[in-house]
Amino acid sequence: MKKSAIAALFAVTLLLAAQNKPTKPATSSLSPAAQEAMTSIDSEKIRATVKYLSDDYFQGRGTGQKGGDMAADWMAQQFKSYGLAPAGDDGTFFQKINFYGVTTDPKQTQFAFVPKSGTAMRLDFASDYVSTNLTHAEKSEIDAPIVFVGYGISAPEYNWDDYKGADLKGKTLLMLVNEPPSDDPNFFKGRALTYYGRWTYKFEEAARRGAVAAILVHKTDMASYGWEVVRNSWGGETSLLQDDKDPKLKSAGWVQLDVARKLAQAAGMNLEHMLDQANSRSFKPVELPVRLQETIVSHVRPFASRNVVGKVAGSDPKLSRQAVIYTAHYDHLGIHPNEPGDNIYNGAADNATGCGILLELARAYVAAKEKPARTIVFAAVTAEEQGLLGSRYLGLHPPVPAGDISLDLNYDDVQPFGDPQQLVVSGAERTTIFPLVQQVAQSFEMAIQPDDHPEAGHYYRSDHFSMARVGVPSFSINEGPLFKGHDLAWGEEKERDYVAHRYHQPSDEYRPDMDFTADAKLAKLGFALGWEVASQPELVGWQPGDEFEKARKTSQSKSGL
């Protein structure tokens, strides 16, 4: 389709408005072939995928476990049976990714704060602190002065620099989670969390500055999750990409707030006062008269896992070198052999639903009697639950250069609760495609629902973020809590019930009463949006000044037609 999709959409809307009263524009801007393909997306096919992938047979699709490998094989078979072309390594549907699984040995690891004067504070693993060696060495010794660096953020666009040029080579950095509090939308996006507030950024920045260790102070109200979450996610195995050239910390750790308070006391300082100072633009790093002495011993297990990648070639000889990509993670938490009772984390909602949607999208694009101008790539990624690692690899090794990918649409945990009336596309407003997103939402009679908890930084917690990091405009498509035939409270209660009783638990299982209308609707919406974007003359970009604009420019200077 060469004609501007938006212009066509307006034309149809005006025509309808002239004929009778204003009515929904529908997705009439799509060509009949695209319409037909889109309409063929079937909620019962999504049900079949969810039922199958969440069966105990797949053992919870754990990264680095047999069940995860079986799921990857099955996704590739589906891609092949639909007639997708392979877009992985050496003409296959797979991107092989090498990982290290690193587990800190709590018995052999010792972690102490040693003040210049006074007695050493020896801390207990899990209850007081957690710590992981990101260099994947089996044993590291650390003896380094502790420097308090406030939020540990250097953000020129907000005129904020906690480091002030201090030499931090070989030091241990003590940092706060989150970012300076603000209601000003022009300062760290107000209440919303930017990437600077995420722990991933802080550990990366500390390593870039030559630090050997970093310790985050956990404060529940600031982190938006409790100590239990920190302990559970850092207490077990951490997966690391082998193919990662960035500098890494020997010890990336967290301490409880109380521990930080005692550390401050041992240094003759006051934690509350330190927290206050960190909120000032003039804050400078403060070296404490205390050293971190740590012997960190890890079990290191190399393993491989795979992304599954296929494509449908675009119809335009020039534009088909560019792409629109759809992503969904297929991995979940696997099987936990040491836990009593049901220890298979089936991951029906998280994220067999996204896989069901991805497969229906792939099937519909292949079935379409004509194709959009650009190529469409489908990627079922691994290791999302390990910290977005499969998509990180995909972003670093995209089947089409990142600068030539117009848009990534991601699906993660789309609850089968019925017919949703609200659309959640957080991050879409940061891209140049937002007006089209609004029109498509309207044609599906869905209201775009703003992010209820921008301070939780959800944008940085699913696979689309890995694509944004390499500059690709990207966001996830999901539903808000208002469903047809119910009030808002009903949907909110369903959501609460899921988070409390099934999210990341063995009980996230398939049930026959699941209603996949939602999943099919959001698949169709994503189909319409992706098709339009794949047909437009221009690539999608970020709004001026966005934190990912620079990455987009960098990637586009390396590629482009």
> Which range in 67-75, 203-211, 320-328, 345-353 contacts Zn ion by CB under 5 A?
345-353
CB of 517 to Zn ion, least distance (A): 23
> Which range in 126-134, 350-358, 479-487, 540-548 contacts Zn ion by CB under 5 A?
350-358
CA distance readout (Å), 327 to 214, 361, 374, 431, 474: 32, 11, 16, 18, 10
What is residue 277's three-state secondary structure?
helix
CB of 559 to Zn ion, least distance (A): 32
Residue 35 to residue 40: CA distance in whole angstroms: 9
| Tally of CA atoms within 13 A in the half-sphere of 87 that contains its CB | 28
Neighbouring C-beta atoms of residue 210, cutoff 10 Å:
12
Q: Is 463 in the site for Zn ion (CB under 5 A)?
A: no
Residue 546 to residue 186: CA distance in whole angstroms: 11
Q: Which is nearer to Zn ion, 328 or 529 (CB)?
A: 328
Q: Which is nearer to Zn ion, 439 or 478 (CB)?
A: 478
Residues in contact with Zn ion, total (CB under 5 A)?
1
Residue 155 to residue 153: CA distance in whole angstroms: 6
Q: Does residue 161 contact residue 155 with C-beta atoms inside 8 Å?
A: yes
Question: Phi and psi dihedrals of 487, rounded to 5?
Answer: -90, 175
CB of 502 to Zn ion, least distance (A): 11
CB of 225 to Zn ion, least distance (A): 13
Residue 355 to residue 353: CA distance in whole angstroms: 5
What single-letter amino acid sits at 226? G
Q: Which is nearer to Zn ion, 350 or 455 (CB)?
A: 350
Which of 69, 162, 350, 546 is in the footprint of Zn ion by CB under 5 A?
350
Q: In this structure, is the dihedral angle defined by the CA atoms of residues 499, 501, 502 and 505, taken in order, positive or negative?
A: positive
CB of 380 to Zn ion, least distance (A): 15
Residue 60 to residue 52: CA distance in whole angstroms: 11
CB of 459 to Zn ion, least distance (A): 16
For Zn ion, the binding residues in 351-370 under the rule CB under 5 A are none
CB of 102 to Zn ion, least distance (A): 20
What is residue 253's three-state secondary structure?
strand
Q: Which is nearer to Zn ion, 63 or 140 (CB)?
A: 63
CB of 389 to Zn ion, least distance (A): 13
Q: Does residue 333 contact residue 413 with C-beta atoms inside 8 Å?
A: no
Q: Which is nearer to Zn ion, 408 or 412 (CB)?
A: 412
CB of 385 to Zn ion, least distance (A): 5
CB of 532 to Zn ion, least distance (A): 29
Q: Which is nearer to Zn ion, 236 or 560 (CB)?
A: 236
> Which range in 21-29, 342-350, 482-490, 530-538 contacts Zn ion by CB under 5 A?
342-350
> Which range in 165-173, 253-261, 348-356, 386-394 contacts Zn ion by CB under 5 A?
348-356
Instruction: Spell out the SS3 assignment of 344-413.
Output: EECCHHHHHHHHHHHHHHHHHHHHCCCCCCCEEEEEEECCCCCCCHHHHHHHHCCCCCHHHEEEEEECCC
CA distance readout (Å), 246 to 134, 180, 308: 11, 26, 25
Q: Does residue 548 contact residue 471 with C-beta atoms inside 8 Å?
A: yes
Q: Which is nearer to Zn ion, 60 or 420 (CB)?
A: 60
Q: Which is nearer to Zn ion, 350 or 463 (CB)?
A: 350
CB of 351 to Zn ion, least distance (A): 7
Q: Which is nearer to Zn ion, 136 or 332 (CB)?
A: 332
Residue 144 to residue 294: CA distance in whole angstroms: 9
Residue number of the CB atom closest to Zn ion: 350
> Which range in 113-121, 185-193, 200-208, 349-357 contacts Zn ion by CB under 5 A?
349-357
Residue 330's contacts (CB-CB under 8 Å, 6 or more residues apart) are 53, 61, 68, 71, 72, 75, 308, 351, 354, 355, 380, 381, 382
Q: Which is nearer to Zn ion, 179 or 350 (CB)?
A: 350
> Which range in 100-108, 343-351, 363-371, 521-529 contacts Zn ion by CB under 5 A?
343-351
Residue 500's contacts (CB-CB under 8 Å, 6 or more residues apart) are none
CB of 302 to Zn ion, least distance (A): 24
Q: Which is nearer to Zn ion, 154 or 478 (CB)?
A: 478
Q: Which of 294, 293, 287 minimizes the C-alpha distance to 268?
A: 287
Residue 114 pairs with which residues in a beta bridge? Answer: 291
Q: Which is nearer to Zn ion, 203 or 345 (CB)?
A: 345
Q: Which parts of this chain interact with Zn ion (CB under 5 A)?
A: 350
